[in-house]
Amino acid sequence: MQQAALLVAHVLDGGNLTDLYESTLRENPQWSDATRGAIRDLSWSTLREFGRGDALLVQFLHKPLPIYLHALLLVSLYRLEQRPAQSHTLVDQAVDAAAAVYPALKGVVNGVLRNVMREAHRHDTWRSEDIAARYAYPQWWINRVRRDHPQGWERILEAGNLHPPMALRVNARMTSPAAVLETLDHAGIPARVLDHGAVLLQQPIPVARLPGFTEGRLSVQDAGAQWAGVWLDAKDGERILDACAAPGGKTAHILERADVELTALELDPVRAARVRLNLDRLGLKANIKVADCRKLSTWWDGKPFDRILADVPCSASGVVRRHPDIKWLRREEDIAGFVHQQAEIIDALWQTLAPGGTMLYVTCSVFADENHRQIAAFRARHPDAEPYAIEADEACFLPPTADHDGFFYARLRKHC
């Protein structure tokens, strides 16, 4: 509980959840997989439910507490709701965790949690009166999703609060979905194959348990993200650009599907190194460059590309269940910044695309400003761009579901 509270407190103080979790693991190599998983699940789940937990604390806190104690109460509230039969034990654990850092305030933690338990019959009423508590998102986020998806906005919000699924990408150079499914079955790991060959596990498991992972026969990649390699549809001998490549899953997928000359760009040297590690595990090769894809003079040799994957930086609103801190750290005004950056990227990349070539635009966003509206504005600026249909549609929005995260895809062809 204490470690999860420290992670949540870091987010409440404006920090990145994933970065701190990974550094915490490096500092505690003795932790078992079970301990690592429990801390991760508790902290991630608490932040998915932050809006609901905070709505309860407002009823019982008359003045602000230190950030760590506020986070500890949020973690405790989540555990109390998940394990009501263990309430007294959980309260005692929370008090001990408080005493370890703020011994003078352990009584406050004890009092708040016991009051929460006594007033359990009022929780639903309090939450129903607060829209952020009802849906566990900030008000502005709810408003945007409701405006952009009037027919399915509640399903999108609900899916973003689910535990994320675990899907595998099959290395077509080494095996097949059917063979992977059989191997998993022999290992006692239930799974099924989706339409485009992604293998969806019934339950997430540690990567170390995956037969064939170390040998490069499969990789972990969300099923929705695997459509990028399918819809880019690279052919043998083509010159391909993956413009925002880290961590390298889509780069590898392209190379697994075809023998191509691939350039992978990444702005961050550390993230570029992760691309190299992923390709090395799979025995794949690409020309990896550390560069800002918008500054053509720093990386482009003037030879046009046949196909470009533009998996642009975005709000990540379609993968928020994997990064629940985004909901509470992101601000509405940030969206305009992403939209501007995306436009700069695709305007620059379009110059490097050969006549008759294809650019696949991808975001993991559910916001229309980054998706359909972005592409409409691009086409207005570039009359030589025409839609290249995906599944008979000009673009494809994949809302988050129990099977995959949320993605937007638009494919464009350059006039000859």
Q: Which of 244, 293, 314, 364 is catalytic?
A: 364
Rounded CA separation 251/394 (Å): 24
Give yes or no for a contact between 263 and 287, defined as CB atoms under 8 angstroms apart: yes
Q: Is 244 designated active site?
A: no
- Tokens linked to 165: 């699924």
Rounded CA separation 363/341 (Å): 12
Residue spans of beta strands (DSSP E) within 48-181? 167-170
- Tokens linked to 291: 């560069």
C-alpha distances in Å from residue 47, one per residue of 136, 163, 362, 380: 9, 12, 26, 40
Torsion of CA 186, 188, 191, 192, to 10 degrees: 40
Amino acid at 14: G
Rounded CA separation 343/356 (Å): 21
DSSP string, 355-396: EEEEEEEEE----GGGTHHHHHHHHHH-TTEEE--BTTBSEE
SS3 188: coil
**Positions marked active-site:** 364
